[in-house]
Amino acid sequence: MAVWAVAFACVIAFMGLGLVDPILKAIASQLHATPSQTELLFSSYMLVTGVAMLVTNFVSHLIGPKWTLLAGLFLIVAFAALAGSSQTIWQIVGFRAGWGLGNALFIATALAVIVSVASGGTAGAIILYEAALGLGISVGPLLGGVLGSISWRGPFYGVALLMAIGFILILVWLRGVPKPAHDNLLHSLAAPAMALRHRGLLIMGIMALLYNFGFFTLLGFSPFVLTLNIYGLGYVFFGWGVLLAITSVFVAPRLQARFGTVPVLIAILLLIGLDLLTIGLFTTSQTVVIVAIIVAGAFLGVNNTVVTTAVMEVSPFERPVASAAYSFVRFVGGAVAPWLAGKLAEWYNPHVSFYVGAAALGLAILVVFSGRRFLLKQV
C-alpha cells in the first residue's frame, strides 16, 4: 500500500507539468496578460524546481525521505490552491514558484522511496515510477481541459485536492523508510554541485538543458498558435501524453538495448529537432501543428527514458546525487524556453520561436557527439 500511495502522488505531481497547457490562453485573456507573461507560469515553476534540486539531498538526510515527501506535497497543495485564488498573472507566477519548490522535494525523493519499499525489486519499481510519470503527463492536459472548461481556476484547485489525498495516504501508509546513511550533512548539501565536475554527468546535463529548451517551447508555447478551445487543447496534449507514456515504458528500453544509448540519443534528438522545425515552417496550418505535437510525444517519451537511464549509469555517484545535479541543469534550461518563445513571437513572429527551439536540439546533438567517446565508455 505504501508503494501505491507514493505512485498515486507521483501521478498527480507529474500532472502539474501539462495541466496548465489548455488554460494558458484563457488565463492570458481573462487576466490581460501577454503570451510571454503567461509563459512565466512555466518559467518560475521550472527555475525554482531546478535550483531546489541542489538541496533536496540535504533535506532528505536531515528529516528523512518520508517527511521530505510530505513537505513537498504540503507545499504543492498550498501553492496550487493559492494559484487558483489569484487575481493577477504575477500572483500565479509567484505561487507557481512555490509549487516548484514542493515539486522538487517530492520528485527528487519519490523514486528512491519507491525502490526502497517495493517488494518486486529495483527494475519493477522503476517501471512503476515511469508508468506513474507517463500517466500523470498524459492525463494532466485532459484534466486541465475538463476542469478548465468550467473555470481556469479549476485545474489548480483540482491538483490541490488530489495532492491532499496523496498527502494523507503517504502519511498513513508509508512507514519504515530510514534516513540515508550519511554522517556529514554539509557533504550531502555540496554533493550535487560537486558531482557536476564529472565530465559525463556534465555532458548529459548540458544536453538535457538544450533538449528541455525545445521540449518546453513545444509544451509551453504551442497552445498559443492553435485556435482550439480548452477542450480541444486538452485532447491534443492528451494524445501527446499517451504516446509519451507508451514509448517511455515500452519502446525506449528496447531501442536502447538494441542500438545503444548514444546512437538512440542522437537519432531521437534529431527527430525532435525536425518536429520543431516542421511546426515552425507550418505554424499557420492547424492540422500540421496538431499532428506534429502528438507525434512529438513519441520522441519525447523515448528521450526521457534513455536520458534518465544514462544519467544513472554515466557517473559513479549515488542515484539521488546524480539525479539532483542533472535535474538542476536541465530544469534551468526548461525555465528559459517558454518565456523566450513568447518574447520571440512578440518581437518577430511565432515561426521564430520554433526555429530557435529546433536550433537548441541541433546544439544538443553536437554536445552528445562531442562527448560520445566518454559516454560510450560509461553507458
> For every one of its 379 residues, what pLDDT tens digit does the chain have, with 9 covering 90 and above?
777 788 888 888 888 777 787 888 888 889 999 888 888 888 898 899 888 888 887 888 788 888 999 999 999 999 999 999 999 999 999 999 999 999 888 887 887 787 777 666 555 666 677 778 778 877 888 888 888 888 889 989 988 998 898 899 888 888 766 666 655 555 666 777 777 777 778 888 888 889 988 988 888 888 889 988 888 888 898 898 889 888 888 898 899 889 988 899 999 999 999 999 999 999 999 999 999 999 999 999 898 888 877 776 766 777 667 777 777 888 877 788 888 888 998 899 999 999 999 999 999 999 998 887 766 655 4
Task: Give the burial string for 32-58 (b: 16+ CB within 10 Å, else e).
Answer: ebebbbbbbbbbbbbbbbbbbbbbbbb
- Cα–Cα distances (Å) from 210 to 138, 172, 185, 215, 216, in that order, read 23, 40, 32, 9, 10
Q: Which residues contact 182 (CB under 8 A, 6 or more apart)?
A: 61, 188
**Boundaries of every domain in the chain:** 2-378
C-alpha cell at 235: 485532447
The stretches of 284-371 forming alpha helices (DSSP H) are: 286-314, 319-347, 350-370
* 2-378 belongs to CATH 3.40.50.300: no
Residue 124 pLDDT = 64
Q: How many CA atoms lie within 13 A of 263 on its CB side?
A: 6
Q: Position 83: which residue type?
A: A
- Of residues 120, 114, 110, 82, the one with CA closest to residue 98: 82
Rounded to whole angstroms, the Cα distance separating 40 from 90 reads: 9
C-alpha cell at 332: 534551468
Q: Which residues contact 150 (CB under 8 A, 6 or more apart)?
A: none
The stretches of the chain forming alpha helices (DSSP H) are: 2-18, 24-30, 35-63, 65-84, 89-117, 121-148, 154-173, 185-195, 199-221, 230-246, 252-259, 261-281, 286-314, 319-347, 350-370, 372-378
pTM of the model: 0.83
Rounded to whole angstroms, the Cα distance separating 29 from 26 reads: 5
Residue 128 pLDDT = 74
C-alpha cell at 273: 529537432
Q: Which residue has the cell 475538463?
A: 146
